[in-house]
Structure 1
Amino acid sequence: MNNILVPNRRTALKMLGGGAAVLAMPAVIRPTPGWAANGVLNITTYDKFLPQEFLDKFQKDSGIQVNIRLTDDQGKQYNLLTAEGANPSTDIVTVAGHRYSQFIASKLLQPLDTGKIPNWKNLNPAYQNAAWARVDDNLWGLPILAGYEGLARNVDYVKEAPSWEIMFDPQYKGQTSYIVSDFMTIVMQYLGHDGDFVSYVDKADVAQKATNEARDFLIKHKDMVRKYYDAGSEVQQMFINEDIYLGHSWSGPAAKLIMDGHPIKLSVPKEGTFGFCYTLNVVNNAPNAENAYKLLDAVLASPEVGAAMTRQSGYSSTINGVADLLNDREKLASTLPQEELERIVFFSSVNRDMKNEMIDRATAEVKAA
């Protein structure tokens, strides 16, 4: 299996539900140039996820008019589909894997029929039947873009970092930084617990004990931290200024530093880390479901599509062969050795409410300590 590309932006994980305003049918579906000899296809997705050149070619080749509605929030997609009920105005939505349960429980998506996607074989095997993508014994979407949390380090000062333990090494006191809520789940893994809470269903007492241990560990080592941060731009600036030598970072901000020539390395330590994946999902009762499958197949037809998606979105493509199309600097910023790739646990949709409640409370306690 080829190495996989995994840049990302932390802000994309802040998927808050939209208000009542998003329930109205917005006038933001914009057609791509072309004609509708073979019907239409309405897609709700994020900016820069589907390259315009790809859409233009698909439309020309298929005769299907593609209409794009841009979104910036998982909650907005959910609210719109819920409001429309059995008569959806969109055929494809873009759902993150760890939000599957919400959409599936509300019967907003239809199970994916991979038999209608001849190019399914071109999807990286790591995603073809991934555990996080299978719910109720069905697959629910085509994985297109992924990201992960990693250990970023300035290689001029930190040569090797095989374990997350280095974040607590006294020689780097005051020279580390992290997003508390995200890093806490990694610390849970580091301490031997389940940072994604999947094994804690109906075990709130076990989950709370594990969360408290991670919370107390971070409080004990609070003097290691120069600053807790929230936005990727903050950790980038700290690395540029050499305020920090080590940090927990989503792959996107670190990849941007590497692309800009800074001496930063991003890796997945031996204890592992977490990642997530965006998928294209066919809506339940989609009026143009057959056209939706034609587009899904076209996405997988060529690694050039995946490379374009990676370059313009800042995320990793899930399509085989993309790495071969990148230049040396892009590869340095965006690839992982196979053994590190296999350490990534993709976020599950299982037990999210318990996880969010406990992690949010513990995060506040760490910051207040």
Structure 2
Amino acid sequence: MKDFTTTRRSTLKLLAAGTGILAAPAIIRPAFAQSKVVNITTYDKFVPQSFIDQFQKDTGIEVRIRLTDDQGKQYNLLTAEGATPSTDIVTVTGHRLSQFLNSNLLSALDTGRLKNWDKLAAAYKGAPQLTIDGTTYGLPLLAGYEGLARNTEYTKETDTWGLMFEDEFKGLTSYIITDFLSIVMTYQGNDGDYVTYGDKPDVAQTATNQARDFLIQHKDKVRKYYDAGSEVQQMFLNEDIYLAQVWSGPAAKLIMDGHPIEISVPKEGTYGFLYSFNVVNNAPNADAAYTFLDAILSSPEIGAAMTRQSGFASAFAGVNDVLDDRERAALSLPDEQAQRIQFFSSVNRDMKNEMIDKAAAEIKAA
């Protein structure tokens, strides 16, 4: 199996995707269904309740959502369940796709079963980001990036991640350790995604240790290490923090709701990611899973609802035209900042995960 990467150019296309108004067809009742249930493991607020209600009414298929906040938890659960999974659809980020595939956890996507497959935005047509050796393994869903979020009432405009380490913000910052370690490595001029470290584990370990020691040195700046987007949102709302490393979704949601938050991509750069819906290998309700995937593609209004709830940019065509001006502004970036985003790669993921996880534990323990 080949690893695959996404270039900065394709990152820009992904984050700018979603133009052109489409008709909004009704969800089509399936002629046959393997069962009347579909089990989906996904993130909070990724699937709008209004869509679930309409889908269940139109198809008679019950949607059961199991929430997750971590790719590793999804992977471990599927691995433990083996050939008898309890989930039909999982939500995987592009750079973790090869890990799931190498463990035979996902089935190839039969796009011929999706009548609405052509309603993906132009940058995702044919899902090249999720295609390996001519086989497609997922439905593109939402795209985002890691940015620097700040409360504009208490912080100055900046062009550097260095603002997170200034003494005036002691106890007023927050981040996900494993994510921010990669960004700090980039901030220090190293390869935070480990793509160039395949035959240089000693160099990788030195760069990792440098970032680890730097974060330990500046541990007094941190109010709390967080795990879920809802946590960092609440800290901003309570004014417990003024600065944070965030996924673009939670920050954009705050901006859409009118809070004084700004998200930017500092000059040192950052990383982007793509979420997809993936059918599990040996899914107990595969027919119902395909009915669900086809229905969620059926209109840009569904994609817009997903964007409003999650804050991430939709992979579905026509969504930008459904959003209002404030919502579009929350999702947009100046061109020079968008140029600084690079999608996470699947290359050398085992090395990266091992070194990052160990360093994160050492930071917590320090």
Fold in common (TM above 0.5): yes
Q: CA deviation at 1:304?
A: 0.5
Distance 1:302 1:77, change over 3 A: same
SS state at 2:179 partner: helix
Q: 2:353 aligns with which of 333, 353, 356?
A: 356
Distance 1:68 1:241, change over 3 A: closer
1: distance between equivalents of 2:99 and 2:195? 16
Name the residue aligned to 1:70: 65
Distance 1:197 1:132, change over 3 A: farther
Q: After superposition, what is the alpha-carbon deviation per residue over 1:28-83, rounded to whole angstroms, capped at 9, x for unaligned?
A: xxxxxx9874224634233643345445655777xx54342322345457645764
SS state at 2:90 partner: strand
Residue pairs, 1:26-175, within 5 angstroms: 37-40=31-34, 42-46=38-42, 48-55=45-52, 65-73=60-68, 75=73, 79-80=77-78, 83=81, 85=83, 91-114=88-111, 117=114, 119-128=116-125, 133-135=130-132, 138-169=135-166, 175=172
1: distance between equivalents of 2:60 and 2:147? 40
Q: After superposition, what is the alpha-carbon deviation per residue over 1:231-259, rounded to whole angstroms, capped at 9, x for unaligned?
A: 55554455445554432223344334334
1: distance between equivalents of 2:49 and 2:55? 10
2: distance between equivalents of 1:91 and 1:173? 45
Does the aligned pair in 1 maintain the 2:223–2:241 contact within 8 Å? no
Q: 2:223 aligns with which of 211, 222, 227?
A: 227
2: distance between equivalents of 1:286 and 1:257? 36
TM-score normalised to structure 2 length: 0.74
2: distance between equivalents of 1:235 and 1:212? 26
Q: CA deviation at 1:90?
A: 5.7
Does the aligned pair in 2 maintain the 1:184–1:359 contact within 8 Å? yes
2:105 corresponds to which letter in structure 1? L
Residue pairs, 1:300-319, within 5 angstroms: 300-313=297-310, 315-319=312-316
Name the residue aligned to 1:198: 195
Q: After superposition, what is the alpha-carbon deviation per residue over 1:75-129, rounded to whole angstroms, capped at 9, x for unaligned?
A: 45764576462x7676543333343233312323222344554544432344457
SS state at 1:107 partner: coil
| Structure 2: runs of 5+ lacking an equivalent | 1-12, 18-27
2:64 corresponds to which letter in structure 1? R
Between the two proteins, the alignment pairs up a number of residues equal to 338
Q: Tell me whether 1:326 sits opposite 2:320 in the alignment.
A: no
Q: CA deviation at 1:291?
A: 6.1
Name the residue aligned to 1:188: 185
Name the residue aligned to 1:9: none
Q: Percent identity?
A: 60
Does the aligned pair in 2 maintain the 1:45–1:68 contact within 8 Å? no
Q: CA deviation at 1:210?
A: 1.3
SS state at 1:39 partner: coil
SS state at 2:298 partner: coil
2: distance between equivalents of 1:234 and 1:292? 31
Name the residue aligned to 2:6: none
Q: After superposition, what is the alpha-carbon deviation per residue over 1:339-366, rounded to whole angstroms, capped at 9, x for unaligned?
A: 5445333334443332232123223434
Distance 1:301 1:208, change over 3 A: same
Name the residue aligned to 1:211: 208
Q: CA deviation at 1:211?
A: 0.6
Q: CA deviation at 1:130?
A: 7.1
Does the aligned pair in 2 maintain the 1:236–1:254 contact within 8 Å? yes
Does the aligned pair in 2 maintain the 1:82–1:108 contact within 8 Å? no
Q: CA deviation at 1:172?
A: 5.1
SS state at 1:319 partner: coil
Report the RMSD for the aligned CA atoms in angstroms: 3.8
Does the aligned pair in 2 maintain the 1:78–1:103 contact within 8 Å? no
Distance 1:112 1:164, change over 3 A: same
Distance 1:351 1:111, change over 3 A: same
Does the aligned pair in 2 maintain the 1:3–1:323 contact within 8 Å? no
SS state at 2:276 partner: strand
Name the residue aligned to 1:20: none
SS state at 2:61 partner: strand
1:182 corresponds to which letter in structure 2? D
Q: CA deviation at 1:295?
A: 4.2
Q: CA deviation at 1:152?
A: 0.9
Q: CA deviation at 1:136?
A: 5.0
1: distance between equivalents of 2:152 and 2:226? 23
